[in-house]
Structure 1
Amino acid sequence: MQFVTADTHFFHSDLLGIDDFAPRPFPNVQVMNQTIIDSWNNKVGTDDIVYHLGDIALYFTKPAKKSYEAVFEVLNSLNGHLVLIKGNHDSRTLFKYLAAHNYEFGGLPKFRFHDVGVLLKYDHRQYYLTHYPMMLGIAPQIINLHGHIHHYTVPAKENINVGVDSPELAYLTDKPAFGEPLNFAEVEQIVERKAVDFAKRK
């Protein structure tokens, strides 16, 4: 099965607390990290594929290797094969560290890496998976799944924010637990309901 998520921001202590940008009502990053890990693993199986659309973590240490080790440990505790699309908070050195410690199971590597995005066909649609929202113009069969903007929704029905704190999760009948990746049936529900919502505004 395939899933998608974005903006986990593991270890990012500045996001803790409740505010309008990215409400994360956790007492510390350890609780936030574990909440995301538990939500993820309750839904994603060992051999599933999860497309992570950037901003994996924000953690700085001296030496930097300690933060890379900590992020690797968290990502390694997540079920599935991870396809990582680089976000603005994801460094190339982190990706190089993950690549150096990559391994295979079930015939696929634990990690795969993309700088910009992935074009994915699913059912009758094409999805362009990126970190930043992309304005694709007139392309009715392409939906842009993205992260980056947290509390905000792009005013275009073709752009869907799939981040863990996206307001567009409210389109779902059953809102996922914090940190839970979306399967593509849920993505389709958001796409369809956002289109209906926009049609009503005309």
Structure 2
Amino acid sequence: MQYFTADTHFFHDRLLGMSDFAPRPFLSVEEMNETIINNWNKRVSPNDVVYHLGDIAILHTRPEKIALEKIFEVLDQLNGRLVLIKGNHDSRALFKYLQQHNHPVGDHQKFEFHDVGVLIKMNHRQYYMTHYPMMMGIVKQIINLHGHIHHYAVPVKENINVGVDTPETDYLAEKPPFGTPFSQAEIEQMVTQKAIDFAKRK
């Protein structure tokens, strides 16, 4: 199975609390990290693939190696193989550290890395997965899955925010618990319902 997420921001203490930008009702980063890990692993199995569309973690502990070790320890607890698309808060040092500590999961490596984006085909559509929202123009059957904007949504029906803070879970019949990567079925439901919503606005 394939799953999709973005903007986990592990360890990012400045996001704690309720705000319009990124509502995260946790008292500590430890509670937030644990919640995401637990909800992730309840859905994702070890052999699944999760596309993480950037902004993995923010931790400014010094020396930097200690921060990288702590982020790796969290990511290594997550089930599945992680396809990591670089976000604006993801450093080259982090990707290099993860590559140095990569290890097999089945027939593949735990981590796969992309600087800009990944294009896949799913459910008779093409999905271009990036960290930043992309304005694709008038293109049939191409959907941009993205993160970056937290509790906001692009007012374009072809753009779907898959971040953990996304408001586009309003298009789902049932919202998954915080931090749960979205399934293919949930992505399809978001795409379909957002298109219906925008057709009504005309």
Q: Quick check: 1:101 aligned with 2:104?
A: no
Query: In structure 1, what residue type is equivalent to 2:163?
Result: G
Unaligned 5+ segments in structure 2 are: none
Query: In structure 2, what residue type is equivalent to 1:19?
Result: S
Partners of 2:85 and 2:105 lie apart in 1 by 20
Q: Quick check: 1:17 aligned with 2:21?
A: no
Residue 61 of structure 1 and its aligned partner are, at CA, apart by 1.2
With normalisation by structure 1, the TM-score equals: 0.99
Unaligned 5+ segments in structure 1 are: none
How large is the Cα RMSD of the aligned pairs? 0.5
Q: Quick check: 1:72 aligned with 2:57?
A: no
For 1:179, the equivalent position in structure 2 comes to 179
CA displacement 1:86-128 (0-9 Å, x = unmatched): 0000000000000000011210100000000000111200000
Secondary structure of 2:121's aligned partner: strand
Residue 149 of structure 1 and its aligned partner are, at CA, apart by 0.2
**Structure 2 matches for 1:1-202, cutoff 5 A?**
1-202=1-202
Partners of 1:24 and 1:105 lie apart in 2 by 31
Could you list the runs of 4 or more consecutive aligned residues of structure 1 that deviate by over 2 angstroms after TM superposition?
none
Secondary structure of 2:3's aligned partner: strand
Alignment identity in percent? Answer: 67
CA contact under 8 A between 2:46 and 2:105: conserved in structure 1? no
CA displacement 1:3-57 (0-9 Å, x = unmatched): 0000000000000011111000000000000000000000000100000000000
Partners of 1:56 and 1:110 lie apart in 2 by 15
Secondary structure of 2:168's aligned partner: helix
Partners of 2:138 and 2:81 lie apart in 1 by 33
Residue 140 of structure 1 and its aligned partner are, at CA, apart by 1.5
Partners of 2:62 and 2:97 lie apart in 1 by 15
